[in-house]
Structure 1
């Protein structure tokens, strides 16, 4: 897995106090975290061949003549090279940075659990299929297509905290990291005569926001 990660270890902070002490907060200023937690950990990508890290250079031009079968000559002329075309998106998937944390409330009253990130790490793009363009080009196309802000990488920083209610006799879990938007598209080569090569399908996860995934059982 290609990922820049700096492990800065500090003592873990996972505390429980009576409900009502302290606000809930996280890195994402665009939303207000709820006091309730999910009942299961966040879903993980289904792709078995998922590659962490996007290409830092475009792929070479197709060498197979069959790849040019879809080409339609034009007298206008085009800029030759690989292009990425997003087609649809689904939802965010959470990629954790550092160890998962937990806190059990063994009392008969609701308690407050506070989780604090113990490491800093950078999460980048992940994909399956043939992403034949540079990662930053795919990010630009995805942002423009869907009207969302995604990045080639985002950093989850050390020391970020969140507080949530833990019901009586329940365990709350917290994982800090980066939410990545899952979307679909294809890479396609355009020739100087504006002919187009074959489409190469891509499933891609692009960093969307930094924050916590919280659940309980």
Structure 2
């Protein structure tokens, strides 16, 4: 029996990832289809001022950089420029690509719901605060600090399918996209004499893996 499918307005994130593209990461295993599926729409990021996309150009030097060019306490000196320092890791948040999908099972038996991604889309870094470094530099720092695999961008492609059981008289919701790891850190300028500038706090979401977000109610 073929069940109808309809597109809905989407929340931007989901609670359960049931991956259909790319390998699961060792530090963040993917649930199997037999595990419990979330029963409510997932939380959205707390930040309301997220900037989508990170520059690949480092910010200019602070205006007081000329005041830090004296003799270095270390004869070797330091490489002057902006640096990013990761401090704390949070959880993954899902950024959907394409429309949310849903399948209602109006029968008295469990039915199969099959969802297929209908568009291709690339998801990049998002952040709030002052990310003064290149996006790729922040990615390297986050990977080294937390031992996770993240990227400056990941592409969720059209045509990926996933099948899950829908219980009687329930609706299964699905959205394909990219999970982004939320973490905290700060940007700081290092001067040629090894002095440090002020810290600029950053909350950053870095693409972590591609997958389906599934929930039912």
Aligned-pair CA distance for 1:40: 1.6
Aligned-pair CA distance for 1:211: 0.3
Counterparts in 2 of 1:1-217, with a 5 A limit? 14=5, 26-30=20-24, 31-35=30-34, 36-64=36-64, 74-75=73-74, 76-217=76-217
Aligned-pair CA distance for 1:64: 4.5
The whole-number CA distance in structure 2 between the counterparts of 1:180 and 1:26 is: 16
Aligned-pair CA distance for 1:132: 0.1
Contact 1:74-1:195 within 8 A present in 2 as well = no
Per-residue CA deviations over 1:17-67 (Å, capped at 9, x if unaligned) read xxxxxxx861142235333421122321111110000012010111157x9
Contact 1:143-1:150 within 8 A present in 2 as well = yes
Contact 2:103-2:172 within 8 A present in 1 as well = yes
Aligned-pair CA distance for 1:146: 0.3
Summarize the Cα distance change of 1:25–1:97 in structure 2 as closer, same or farther, 3 Å threshold. closer
Aligned Cα RMSD in Å? 2.1
The whole-number CA distance in structure 2 between the counterparts of 1:196 and 1:25 is: 43
The whole-number CA distance in structure 2 between the counterparts of 1:142 and 1:199 is: 17
Contact 1:97-1:121 within 8 A present in 2 as well = yes
* Partner SS state of residue 198, structure 1: coil
* Partner SS state of residue 141, structure 1: helix
Aligned-pair CA distance for 1:141: 0.4
The whole-number CA distance in structure 2 between the counterparts of 1:205 and 1:122 is: 14
The whole-number CA distance in structure 2 between the counterparts of 1:41 and 1:181 is: 19
Q: Which runs of 5+ in 1 are unaligned?
A: 1-12, 16-23
Following TM superposition, the consecutive aligned residue runs of length 4 or more in structure 1 with deviations greater than 3 angstroms are none
The whole-number CA distance in structure 2 between the counterparts of 1:135 and 1:46 is: 21
Contact 2:19-2:212 within 8 A present in 1 as well = no
The whole-number CA distance in structure 1 between the counterparts of 2:44 and 2:189 is: 31
The whole-number CA distance in structure 1 between the counterparts of 2:42 and 2:145 is: 26
Contact 1:14-1:114 within 8 A present in 2 as well = no
